Amino acid sequence: MAVRVPSIPSGTKMGGGRYVVVRELNRGGVAVVYKGIDGETGEKVALKVLELGPVEAADMVKGRVEREIRHLAEVRHENIVSLLNVFVDGDQLVIVLELIEGYDLLEVLNRKDGVLAEDQARHYFLQLLSGVEFMHEHHKICHRDLKPENCMIELKTDKLKIIDLGLSKRLQSARTLGVGTPGYMAPELLHVGNNTVGQYDASLADVWSLGSTLYLMTTGFQAWEDPNHPKDISKTLYNCIAGRYRKLPPHLQNTALADLLKKMLVPSPYERLTLQAVREHEWVSG
């Protein structure tokens, strides 16, 4: 298990006094994110704090954290959160990120009664697509955990930014199965028997996650969730493997959006749309 990160009081200085903690923003499984102030620039920043703890505990998350740092350091795009600094403070590793003042996409949906109008969904989807295309085309990196919770929406600009590259991987080296989040993870990434590695096209796995995210934005429902057993993960995964997503609402049936979702959410990755084909689809380009 990962080491639980204790709360850091407001006003605490870190990084040799350069950064001041303002307040806690979010607590995850391996890290806590704080709003902070950079004393050198006066800018607001996000401080992602990981408790290093015992060696055996730190090793469990070391690879994920190293990937996030390495890949964020390489990628510079308006729809991907920027890495500003990294330092060790005592027993804590701190990743300094661009602060996005807003909500994640799931919270935006919740504040819109769970669903977005097509035009607004397209507005966010285009930005998400642009960020993913840039990762794939310019840095050969796949995200592998695209979902609404990993998309932040900046309140002032309405700009979407992709966060959490902890599961990201080079396209050509992506072989580990079982990575991602049920409900957004492509069928080819699921464990089969006792196998934990296998060859798959990681770019097409990201397309599946994009499609599942778009489905949620436009319908208000999880694509693969069994409406009669919404908390049953096994049924969600079964539907995912079978490619059986929930029937679209009547007003979305026989539309360009329905056609796009149908072609993105194909269980066989080699029958699924590529990122380029998604970009060229009439719902996206129209």
Pull the structure tokens for residue 199.
């060859």
CA proximity to 143, closest of 189, 93, 180, 192:
180
Residue 22 burial (C-beta neighbours within 10 Å; 0-12, 13-18, 19+): middle
38, 104, 119, 145: which one is catalytic? 145
Q: Which residues pair with 229 in a beta bridge?
A: 226
Domain limits, the chain = 13-98, 102-285
Report the 10 Å Cβ neighbour count for 230: 11
> Which pTM value belongs to this model?
0.86
**Residue 145 designated active-site:** yes
Pull the structure tokens for residue 277.
């084909």
Length of the chain, please?
286
For the chain, the first-to-last Cα distance in angstroms comes to 47
The fourth-level CATH superfamily of domain 102-285 is: Transferase(Phosphotransferase) domain 1 (1.10.510.10)
CATH code: domain 13-98 is 3.30.200.20
What tens-digit pLDDT sequence spans the chain (286 residues)? 445 667 899 999 999 999 999 999 988 767 899 999 999 999 999 999 988 765 544 554 555 666 666 666 777 899 999 888 888 888 888 889 999 999 999 999 999 999 999 999 999 999 999 999 998 877 677 777 899 999 999 999 999 999 877 555 444 444 444 455 788 988 988 754 444 445 567 789 899 999 999 999 999 999 999 999 988 999 999 999 999 999 999 999 999 999 999 999 999 999 999 999 999 999 998 7
